[in-house]
Amino acid sequence: GDLDTGIYFPAANALGFALAGSAVGCWTTTGLGIGTASPTTALHVEGQVRGGNADNAWGYKSYGSSGALRGGLWNLSSGLEFVGASFNNRVSLNDSANSVKIRTAGLDRFLIDASGNVGIGTTSPGNTLHVNGGVRLSSLPTSAAGLSTGDIWNDSGTLKIA
């Protein structure tokens, strides 16, 4: 067909879209392809996507070559969420709570709250750094020489604060 600008018929039961001599999309019995001539879903976009509506409720799902969901980006009323394929892994940027949260294996693991407090293993940090669980420190200095007040050092297996 004519690939200058307009609609053409690239194959049976398909409409192609061209702009300035380049194919830019295709509508087939499978779906509408933008940036692809072979859509695999009802709407298949190759390249960057921008969207939204009056409520700012939109989502983007990323699919692998096998058609399996790889993850997505959701604009929720409270902020943004980047999610993994199972939705058990996610990073949430919550505007209403002014917080950032990371979840793995379906459990909240890390949070920065509105006060700037960081929680590891807790979603309610009670201090600048709140760790719920074990902590491992390695490669600590073995003398207080050159350390600043508040630095931690290892004195023959005993932790000390300079």
Tell if the pTM clears 0.85, that is, is over it: no
Question: What is the sign, positive or negative, of the torsion defined by CA atoms of 31, 34, 39, 41?
Answer: negative
15-31 mean pLDDT? 87
Q: Spell out where the chain has E strands.
A: 6-8, 15-19, 22-27, 32-34, 43-45, 58-63, 69-76, 79-84, 90-94, 99-104, 107-112, 118-120, 129-131, 152-155, 158-161
Two tokens, residue 17:
């879209």
Mean pLDDT of the chain: 83
Q: Are strands 69-76 and 32-34 parallel, antiparallel or unpaired?
A: unpaired
pLDDT at 156 over 50: yes
pLDDT of amino acid 95: 81
Q: Label residue 147 exposed, middle or buried (CB < 10 Å: 0-12, 13-18, 19+).
A: middle
* pLDDT > 80? residue 150: yes
What letter does residue 31 receive in the DSSP assignment? -
pLDDT of residue 24: 87
What single DSSP character describes residue 157? T
